[in-house]
Amino acid sequence: MKDKDLEKRVAELNKLLHEYAHAYYVLDNPLVPDAVYDQLMQELMAIEKEHPELIYPDSPTQRVGGKPLEGFNKVTHRYPMLSLSNAFNEEDLRDFDRKIRQAIGDKYNYVCELKIDGLAISLRYENGIFVQGATRGDGTVGEDITVNLKTIKDIPLRLKEPVTIEVRGEAYMPKRSFLELNMEREENGEDLFANPRNAAAGSLRQLDSKITASRNLATFIYGIGGDGEAYGIDSHAEMLDYLESLGFRVNKERTLCETIDDVLAFIKKWTTERPNLPYEIDGIVVKVNRFAHQEELGTTVKSPRWAIAYKFPAEEAIT
C-alpha cells in the first residue's frame, strides 16, 4: 500500500476502533461483533509494527504500557479534589436541606447519584487527548497512575470534542470481577482482597500496568475540576450530560430531585435495589443542581456546602 494510503488507513482504523470501543465499553451497546473489532485491531497493530512512525499517541494499541514503573510520581491537582460531608439518617438530610433553604431561599433542586465504592481519580485531557491520570491522594497531591488508567477500556484516550478539561470520577472493580479475582488468588494461595474497593485500589497502584490491565476495572465519571461554567453549562445535571457527550461513562441512575422528600425516596429505592447492582455503592450523593446556587453556598476548607453524601448503614458482618 502506498504511504499516503497507509496513513489514511491508520487514521481510519484509529477512528473506527475508538468509536467501537466507546460503544462497547461506555454505552454497553456494541456496534460490531468482537471478531470484527479484533480483526481491525490486529490490522492496526501489524501496520504499527512495520511503521512505528504511524503510531498515534492515543492509538487503541497503546493502552497497555511497556516495562513496569520504579514508582509513582506525585501530581499536584490543578483544582483540589474535595471530599463530601456525610449524612447518616433522615434528620441529617433534613438539617442539610434546612441550611440550604436558609442560605438561598426555596427555588432550588437537587441531583442524586449513586456513591460508587471505588477509588477517586482525576483525568486530564489536552485538546481532547488523555494526557495524565492521578489518584485523589490527600485531595491536593495524588499519584500519577496514567499508564494504569490507560488500561481501563471505558476511559477514552480521545474525547469526542478537542477540549482541554480535567474530570473526576471513581475507578471500581465490578462485583463479579472481584469474586473471580479472589477465587483465582485462593487457588494460587495468595492473600484475598477484603472488598472490591481494596481490589480496585490495589490494582490501580500496580507498578506493572499489565497486571492492572488484567483486573477488569471500570469507571464512572461525575465531575469537572475547576469552573464548570467555562464549558457553557450551568448545572450539575447538564454537566453530567456534557461529560457523557464527550465520551465518558456516566452513571445512568442520576435523578433530579425537586424536594428533600424526593431525595429520601431515591435513597429508599436504592437501599432496596443496591444488592442487585453489578458494582458496590456505599451511599447516595446529593448535590444542589444549579452552579449559581453552588457558588452562593461555597465550600468549607475540605468540602462543599452544596453537597452531602448519605452513607448506608454498615452492613452486618456475616458471622
Q: Per-residue x/- mask for ligand 1X7, residues 164 to 203, rule CB under 6 A?
A: ------x---------------------------------
Which cell numbers hold the place of 202? 490495589
Query: At its nearest, how many Å lie between ligand 1X7 and the CB of residue 84?
Result: 5
- 120 pairs with which residues across the strands? 170
Q: Which window, 29-37, 62-70, 108-116, 179-187, contacts ligand 1X7 (CB under 6 A)?
A: 108-116
Q: Per-residue x/- mask for ligand 1X7, residues 253 to 272, rule CB under 6 A?
A: --------------------
Query: At its nearest, how many Å lie between ligand 1X7 and the CB of residue 195?
Result: 14
The angle formed by the CA atoms of residues 221, 225 and 230, to the nearest 5 degrees, is 110
How many Å apart are CA 5 and CA 7, to the nearest integer?
Answer: 5
Q: Which window, 86-94, 111-119, 201-209, 260-268, contacts ligand 1X7 (CB under 6 A)?
A: 111-119
Q: Does 84 bind ligand 1X7 (CB under 6 A)?
A: yes
Query: At its nearest, how many Å lie between ligand 1X7 and the CB of residue 105?
Result: 24
- 230 pairs with which residues across the strands? none
What is the edge-to-edge ordering of all strands in the sheet holding 86-87?
Answer: 86-87, 307-311, 281-288, 110-116, 255-257
Task: Dihedral sign for Cα 189, 194, 200, 202, please.
Answer: negative
Q: Which window, 9-17, 70-78, 114-122, 207-215, contacts ligand 1X7 (CB under 6 A)?
A: 114-122
Query: At its nearest, how many Å lie between ligand 1X7 and the CB of residue 190?
Result: 27
Q: Does 244 bind ligand 1X7 (CB under 6 A)?
A: no
Which of 115, 150, 153, 287 is flagged as catalytic?
A: 115
C-alpha radius of gyration, the chain, whole number: 21
Q: State which of positions 220-239 bind ligand 1X7 (CB under 6 A).
A: 222
Give residue for cell 438561598: 104
Q: Is 115 one of the annotated active-site residues of the chain?
A: yes
User: Which of 285, 286, 288, 308 touches ligand 1X7 (CB under 6 A)?
Assistant: 285
How many Å apart are CA 78 and CA 226, to the nearest integer?
Answer: 8
DSSP strands (E only) in 201-271:
218-224, 255-257
Q: Does 58 bind ligand 1X7 (CB under 6 A)?
A: no
Which cell numbers hold the place of 5? 494510503
Reading phi first (left if > 0) and then psi (alpha if -120 to 50, else beta), residue 227 is in: beta
How many Å apart are CA 225 and CA 77, to the nearest integer?
Answer: 9
Contacts with ligand 1X7, residue ranges (CB under 6 A): 83-84, 113, 115-116, 120, 170, 222, 285
